[in-house]
Amino acid sequence: MNLSIRNTGPITTLLSWVLLLLRHSINNALVIPLPPLSASKQHHRGAEGQVPLPASLSFHHQTRTTPTPIAPTTTKKSSKKIHHWRSSSSSPLYSSNTDDEDDDAQSPVSYDEECDVLILGSGPAARAIATLLSSKSPETNLNVLLADSNYDRQWAPNYGLWRDEWNAITSRYQSDFNQVLGEECINREWDVTDGYFGGSFDIPMEQRLRVDRPYVRIDKEKLRDALSPAEDGGGGGGGGSASYRVLKASHTSEAISPNVYAPSGSLVHDDRGTTIQLRPASGTNTDGTLSVRAKIIVDCTGHETKLVLPDTRSATPPPGFQIAYGALVTVDESNSPDKTHFGPYAKEAMTLFDYRTDHFDSDPAFLKKATQIPTFMYAMPLGGNRIFFEETSLVARPAVSFMDCKERYLKRLKHLGIEVTGVEEEEFCYIPMGGPLPIKDQRIVGFGGASAMVHPSTGFSLARVLMGAPDVCTAIRRGITTDGASPDRIAADAYGALWTPEDVAQRNFAVFGGEFLMAQDVKGLRGFFDGFFRISQERWGGFLAGRPGLPNNNCHDTWLARMVFGLVFIAKIPLPVAVKMFLAIVESSLGAIDLPQSVTPLFGNPDGYGFVERPDERGDVAAKSEARKMIAESKVEEEVPVFLDIKKEQ
């Protein structure tokens, strides 16, 4: 529609001006970010001083009550609450734009919450990164908001890791961020770790393989408390020293392509940050959605995130799945001849693997299935007659049935003469392992499972996440406090800190390991792990670490170290398993360069996640400048064609 004002009389002229003003008002109104629309609840978030939309384009407004945040004070402004955050230093969020001349000309837009960094999720990954980002230092004092409608829910898994890994993590948190993770976060420690791989390759069924590397069980409630604010609204931990704020709400968005999300308007990026709509948890006395503004968003919602897209065009195969059924039980020891053991499992040791299948000898159908689709027992004696048992499928695609794991767990305990008298808790473990890394150039920073940080061969994740958090935190802090750093650069630097080219190469080696383990029957796995734990602890420890900063990772973080590991390892495993591994190496190397790249210098390192600056000038500047000069001197041509513009449009 093209309106022009013609000299056809005062009434017509007046009507024309009215139409022009209406069109201008509609255009201006439509640039305000809107929340997602639904048939039942639609909201119109107006800006102060905004011209109302015409009736045909307006949205029903409902009064909402904003949840009381932990830190801010609030002042009334119009009909909405606008939060002003108090801190010892000003938030860097919009500091670089406060002097822009255009800012005074624009009507201010209000949000329910504003922050420097928004963390989505409330598991170990989310709370660790939120704790470190919000830690105080002379250089930074970021406004960090953690959002999750399930914030009060207890952590379900039983977490275990090697003692030296825990020591390395706590030392770094203390030295770099003045954050203390005390010994109260550990509720059980074993000086030795056992494995049972008998039944194949002339390994006696009762033979125990013991390694002298202490293992610890994490007190998940104490760790959650340590990574929480002193007060968090109740129910979600509390009692810690973290300084982040908590909002009990979750996002409703889903990435449909890089940096594009559905429903429309639910998550919108711009050159200064991101606006996201969150849905409050039930019981918070808040209707509708909350609009949150952040410089950077970190997604810690887990392996199957809806915001961080995997690079499905890469050569990396899809993830496998670790499935386990576990239970913390009490055992009747009244008739036990040896109170130092639960069946074959020593109370002084943590049993990491029991791949024996002799409990199926009387049932050929069960034995055949357990041979082809293997599982193992994992046992943590907890003192007295309490023990945590877990029957685990290490990695499979498709996933093994939970019911299969439970049935095997019950048959194993019955065969071993272990009588359970009480069940304190059950655990259903579902862990995607491996799979592609996040696609590059995403504005949302994935962390934890959302960034495929689970070890592709073992399923270990806690130590990798806790040790990775300082690297990502440092990159985000540096970016936010650097003048002129764009959100795109900050996100790319965060990914770059998490996945350097060297880290990607090391992960590719572990992905190959996971694919090989997935293809083995129980005999192959017995031979694999019996040989694995017979090489030096530094070498197998480096393979299990898979994260810079963890003990022994230096024995696995170069192509040469990985090649030496492979040669030493393949000499330790039974010949039939070694032949299978050699064939798998050949097949993998013919299909893609990921494995050769990880163990040779021939192909260099994989591409990293570094920020790529888009040039201010486009095309051949010299040629276009020459043409512009010639046109200026021409007696025929006067207009400079658009294609000869040198600067990109602003």
Domain of 121, CATH number, reads 3.50.50.60
In a domain, 170, yes or no: yes
- CA Rg value for the chain: 30
Do 491 and 514 reside in the same domain of the chain? no
Give the count of beta carbons closer than 10 Å to the beta carbon of residue 98. 8
- pLDDT, residue 102, reads 47
Number of domains in the chain: 3
152 and 237 housed in the same domain:
yes
215 occurs within a structural domain: yes
Q: Give the mean model confidence (pLDDT) for residues 266-280.
A: 96
Same domain, 530 and 485: no
507 and 491, same domain (yes or no): no
Tell me, yes or no, whether 140 and 259 share the same domain. Answer: yes
The pLDDT value recorded for residue 157 is 83
DSSP 48: T
The boundaries of the domain holding residue 591 are 501-613
One domain for residues 222 and 290: yes
- Pull the structure tokens for residue 189: 């420690």
- Report the chain's mean pLDDT, rounded to a whole number: 84
Instruction: Compute the average pLDDT of residues 58-83.
Output: 35
Using 50, 70 and 90 to split pLDDT, how confident is the model at 636? confident
Q: Encode pLDDT of 184-209 as tens digits.
A: 999 999 999 999 999 999 999 999 99
Q: Is residue 3 part of a domain?
A: no
Q: Does residue 267 contact residue 276 with C-beta atoms inside 8 Å?
A: yes
Q: Could you tell me if 133 and 70 lie in one domain?
A: yes
Q: Read off the CATH number of the domain in which 414 is found.
A: 3.30.70
Q: Do 146 and 248 fall into the same domain?
A: yes
| pLDDT(33) > 50 | no
Considering all CA atoms of the chain, what is the largest pairwise distance in Å, rounded to the nearest integer? Answer: 111
Taking the C-alpha atoms of residue 113 and residue 299, their distance in angstroms, rounded to an integer, is 17
**Domain match, 574 and 609 both:** yes
Kindly state whether residues 561 and 484 are assigned to the same domain. no
pLDDT tens profile 439-448: 999 999 999 9
CB 241 within 8 A of CB 141: no
Residues 581 and 529 in one domain: yes
Query: Do 394 and 440 share a domain, yes or no?
Result: no
| Distance, CA of 335 to CA of 148 (rounded, Å) | 48
pLDDT score at 361: 86
Name residue 250's amino acid: S
* Domain boundary, last residue among 399, 433, 467: 433
pTM given for the model: 0.81
Residue 286's pLDDT is what?
A: 66
Class of residue 331 by CB neighbours under 10 A (exposed 0-12, middle 13-18, buried 19+): buried
